[in-house]
Amino acid sequence: MSPGKRRTSPTIAAMGLVVMLQLLAMLTTAVAVNPTGQACDVCECKGPVVICTGRNLTELPRGIPNGTKALELGDNFLREIPYDGLLEFRSLVKINIANNLIKTPFKLPGSVRVIFLDVNRISEIQPGGFAG
Ligand X SMILES: *[C@@H]1O[C@H](CO)[C@@H](O)[C@H](O)[C@H]1NC(C)=O
| Residues that bind ligand X in the complex, under the rule CB under 6 A | 55-56, 66, 88-90
**Beta-bridge partner residues of 107:** 126
Distances (CA, A) of 45 to 9, 80, 96, 105: 51, 22, 15, 26
Decide: 104 and 122 in contact? Cβ < 8 Å: yes
Pick 104 or 111: Cβ nearer ligand X = 111
Minimum CB distance to ligand X, residue 3 (Å):
53
Minimum CB distance to ligand X, residue 42 (Å):
9
Closest CA to 85 of 53, 38, 126, 41: 126
Minimum CB distance to ligand X, residue 89 (Å):
5
Decide: 78 and 95 in contact? Cβ < 8 Å: no
Pick 55 or 79: Cβ nearer ligand X = 55
Pick 75 or 120: Cβ nearer ligand X = 75
**Beta-bridge partner residues of 95:** 71, 115
Closest CA to 108 of 121, 132, 124, 125: 125
Pick 17 or 85: Cβ nearer ligand X = 85
Minimum CB distance to ligand X, residue 106 (Å):
14
